[in-house]
A and B are shown apart, each in its own frame.
Chain A
Amino acid sequence: MALDSKIPSGPIADKWTNYKNHIDLVNPANKRLIDVIVVGTGLAGGSAAATLAELGYNVKAFCFQDSPRRAHSIAAQGGINAAKNYQGDGDSIYRLFYDTVKGGDYRSREANVYRLAEVSGNIIDQCVMQGVPFAREYGGLLDNRSFGGVLVSRTFYAAGQTGQQLLLGAYSAMNRQIGRGKIKMYNRHEMLDVVVVGGKARGIITRNLITGEIERHSAHAVVLGTGGYGNVFFLSTNAMGSNVTAAWKAHKRGAYFANPCYTQIHPTCIPVSGDHQSKLTLMSESLRNDGRIWVPKKMEDVEAIREGKLKPTQIAEEDRDYYLERRYPAFGNLVPRDVASRAAKERCDAGYGVNKTGEAVYLDFASAIERYGKVQATIKHLDVNDKALVKKLGQEVIKEKYGNLFQMYEKIVDQDPYETPMMIYPAVHYTMGGVWVDYNLMTTVPGLYCIGEANFSDHGANRLGASALMQGLADGYFVLPYTIGDYLSKDIRTGKIPTDSPEFDEAENNVRERINRFINNNGTHSVDYFHKKLGKIMWNKVGMSRNTQGLKEAISEIKALREEFWKDVKVPGTNEEFNEELAKAGRVADFLELGELFAKDALHREESCGGHFREESVEEDGPQKGEAKRDDENFAYVAAWEYKGEPSDAVLHKEELEFKDIELKQRSYK
């Protein structure tokens, strides 16, 4: 099947408006006859469920957590971008569009990104109406902050908890519809298959995580807003429950999976402390505004630090290697996430990591504390040469700006970051890849939609800070409700979808069979044992920097691990109870397939772009020597994989990317 992205014709600025003017609508009386299933209740799923219910559709919403409010969107810290130009600093829809395409290293679809930028302003309006308490200035108007990779201040925020506030906004909109009976909410339900009837997605199979009951749910369309798959690395900043299962089941039922190798590794996370580590904690990117990143220059200092004989504060200025400032004098510590992460890995691989695992670099606030302290001393007419005083004043400023993050760091690491530099290391954070969707956000299975992080559409090969929240809400509030209506307008006479069809029987049997296999497997190792092994393979060979040999090894190792898993996994208990191990087993089984496709995709893409870095594809000479080298001639396409059984059999479909409104350029941060 050839991929048809269904991009409307016409100039880019008019596409969305023209599209909306010409789609078929469903009249209000008929909407009452149509059911829509929404899986996942984060920013994308939650906003979609609420909006569809407001429009009059009967919505059934599902989440595996105990409440929609727990979805992992809640953990987003920094903010949400919108081209409001409230600061009058030259922002515009075009500029947000341009920044996003450029930030994505020219691997996203122009029309989708433009639409995203176009509706971004509406998101802020909508959220304010809902009572989201964004940060404000004394005049009562909304405040903005600036974020990495752009030249304007367009990020709206609510302290370091923007994701939480936006999610609670969407949750409140859902609550209103749940109260009215327009959304039927299924908490602690996990989707285990998509049911395709007559070529169209017509329902799902779920497992009630409390009772183990396998349920059939039918609808005229199914929407997946099930988030990213970063947990394929075991350790990531994702929640423990974040998984690929819903998206993977869709893939197995015919939805193409696009660009699985595009993963964002966030540079400022708290390093791993030992084998017991279950997840990684992100420290907001904003810290890089004031922190300087370094490792010691001399190997003997590194060793002394690891043995605890030397403290980082005792290392003289000239013995420190501020490697980002050294390599990228123009952007310094504020290079984009992918660049900063790779540079940290390069230093640690060279042996300069500063903690006992050798995987940490310093993020030092001493210069900022001194700089701010001197400014404060000057303002207050105090002695700028009094070191203790300057330090105290400087620390107060830092506390004001980053207090909650410093406290979080201290709780986890048990070191005071005001006195000693923080230790950080990159961690898997976001997956730009996902289920392939067209302009309508519909997958290659008619009637099956995919929104938010779960789809691949808007961020190309790298996502800019504060854009994930924007995309999730844009999809759910402002895009999907239109596009799905066009599809559903053909379904007004269909009537209820029965759940006793052979397709539902087959899907349910599949699910039951797999569960029984887990329960009766009697293996010797826990699910986590395999998940951790998978994570190690992914991190070492399909992580921040990738090469042909490593990827080939990863593919065969993952395949072998998958076979071992099916033979040897041990799932205690039964299906008919609350059984977290059983739920985890299903998720890890899917990760074990996705992981291989992920490596396969990374292997085929013989270029470096955004979060995907191939050691073979670097600039050989010139001022950019050693930096990532993109290959627009051969790889300016979306790689959409079709399921054919084993991941190794997946068939590649290419959606060529056309750049009519933006000129392709090399990203330079030197």
Chain B
Amino acid sequence: MNLTLKIWRQKNANDKGKLVDYKISDVSPDMSFLEMLDVLNEDLINKGEDPVAFDHDCREGICGMCSLYINGEAHGPDRGVTTCQLHMRMFKDGDTIFIEPFRATAFPVIKDLVVDRSSFDRIQHAGGFISVNTSGRPVDANNIPVNKHDADEAFEAATCIGCGACVASCKNSSAMLFVGAKVSQFALLPQGKVEATERVLNMVKQMDEEGFGNCTNTGACEVECPKGISLENIARMNREYLAASLKG
């Protein structure tokens, strides 16, 4: 099929940037979206133009590196997938496809479609861990029984891949699904409860300092999340935070 791509081009963080039109032909419906961009880039390189920069790595939906805003949605129109898992059969011959970077003040553009998500890392540095050192003889793993339901819920929360689709989709660029998932994972486990108060206060403080917006519960994040992380995690974080504020 033949497509028109409207791709955001921006030389670097200081450049203003604009949408540029590209025509691409003979796209196979079996291609992944990123393979389609590979073909475009190969073409641009051969023509002596600058290829489009975009983040990608594992190309199987787990590393969280790919981050495109395609036709007005994070990771494109399909559900439960990352951009690398989106296939061209979702589009029709003759379509025009808008491709933009994830937008948020806390995710500044580095080049073209590549954004800087180190704000996510900094939130994790503030409290996304349980304070235990590696040691040769810790407690035997089975000395800490965990209710299966809690363990499963903690796992669901922990499947977040940190891609930032929640922020990109949120009209407020809020990072609460991302932070809520981490807070929830640890809050649900006995190992994590010990420092739950400190954790949620520190992570939320860092989240606010990074310039993410406030959650207004539109639920867009949950819909666009490639891993289906539930809004319940935000509610749990709210509870944890309020309880922690009263204590602290």
Contact present between A and B (CB < 8 A): yes
- A contacts, CB < 8 Å to B: 47, 50-51, 54, 65-72, 74-75, 84, 86, 122, 124-131, 133-142, 158-159, 161, 164-165, 168, 171-173, 175-176, 178-179, 185, 187, 210, 237, 239-241, 273-274, 276-279, 281-282, 407-408, 411-412, 414, 477-478, 481, 526, 528-529, 570, 572-573, 577-578, 580-581
With a cutoff of 8 Å between Cβ atoms, the chain A residues found around residue B186 in the complex are 131
Structural contact, B158 and A528, CB atoms closer than 8 A: no
Q: How far is the CB of A6 from chain B (nearest CB, A)?
A: 21
- Asked whether any CB of chain A lies closer than 8 Å to the CB of B242, the reply is no
Structural contact, B191 and A276, CB atoms closer than 8 A: no
Structural contact, A130 and B51, CB atoms closer than 8 A: no
List the 3 closest pairs (A to B, CB-CB), nearest first.
Answer: A140-B145, A172-B129, A133-B155
- Asked whether any CB of chain A lies closer than 8 Å to the CB of B1, the reply is no
- Asked whether any CB of chain A lies closer than 8 Å to the CB of B75, the reply is no
Structural contact, B87 and A414, CB atoms closer than 8 A: yes
Q: List 20 A-B contacts (CB under 8 A).
A: A51-B133, A66-B116, A66-B118, A129-B139, A129-B191, A130-B191, A131-B186, A131-B191, A139-B145, A140-B148, A142-B142, A173-B134, A176-B125, A239-B58, A274-B28, A276-B31, A278-B35, A408-B85, A478-B136, A570-B45
Structural contact, B60 and A281, CB atoms closer than 8 A: yes
Q: How far is the CB of B175 from chain A (nearest CB, A)?
A: 14
Binds A, one of B61-69, B165-173, B211-219, B233-241: B61-69
Structural contact, B118 and A187, CB atoms closer than 8 A: yes
Structural contact, A164 and B62, CB atoms closer than 8 A: yes
Docked Cα-Cα span, A23 to B164, in Å, equals 46
Docked Cα-Cα span, A86 to B121, in Å, equals 36
Structural contact, A135 and B151, CB atoms closer than 8 A: yes
Count of chain A to chain B residue pairs whose CB atoms are closer than 8 Å in the complex: 215
Q: From B35, B57, B61, B146, give the contact of A277 (CB < 8 A).
A: B35
With a cutoff of 8 Å between Cβ atoms, the chain A residues found around residue B62 in the complex are 74-75, 161, 164
- With contacts A67-B120, A210-B110, A572-B51 taken as known, whether A74 is within 8 angstroms of B63 at the C-beta atoms is yes
Structural contact, A129 and B38, CB atoms closer than 8 A: no
Q: From B36, B85, B147, B162, give the contact of A69 (CB < 8 A).
A: B162
Q: How far is the CB of B3 from chain A (nearest CB, A)?
A: 14
Q: From B55, B58, B111, B128, give the contact of A577 (CB < 8 A).
A: B111
- Asked whether any CB of chain A lies closer than 8 Å to the CB of B30, the reply is yes
Q: How far is the CB of A167 from chain B (nearest CB, A)?
A: 10
- With contacts A131-B185, A133-B189, A173-B134 taken as known, whether A125 is within 8 angstroms of B65 at the C-beta atoms is no
8 Å CB interface, B121-155 against A:
121, 124-142, 144-148, 151-152, 154-155
With a cutoff of 8 Å between Cβ atoms, the chain A residues found around residue B148 in the complex are 136-138, 140
With a cutoff of 8 Å between Cβ atoms, the chain B residues found around residue A408 in the complex are 60-61, 85
Structural contact, B64 and A70, CB atoms closer than 8 A: yes
- With contacts A75-B62, A176-B129 taken as known, whether A159 is within 8 angstroms of B155 at the C-beta atoms is yes
- With contacts A66-B55, A75-B58, A131-B130 taken as known, whether A412 is within 8 angstroms of B136 at the C-beta atoms is no
Q: With A141-B145, A278-B34, A411-B78 given, name 20 new contacts (CB 8 A).
A: A65-B65, A66-B55, A70-B64, A72-B58, A75-B58, A86-B142, A125-B140, A129-B130, A136-B152, A164-B159, A164-B161, A175-B128, A178-B125, A240-B56, A240-B59, A273-B28, A276-B30, A278-B38, A578-B114, A581-B45
Structural contact, B138 and A276, CB atoms closer than 8 A: no
With a cutoff of 8 Å between Cβ atoms, the chain B residues found around residue A529 in the complex are 42
Q: How far is the CB of B187 from chain A (nearest CB, A)?
A: 10
Structural contact, B144 and A128, CB atoms closer than 8 A: yes
- Asked whether any CB of chain A lies closer than 8 Å to the CB of B89, the reply is yes
Structural contact, B146 and A276, CB atoms closer than 8 A: no
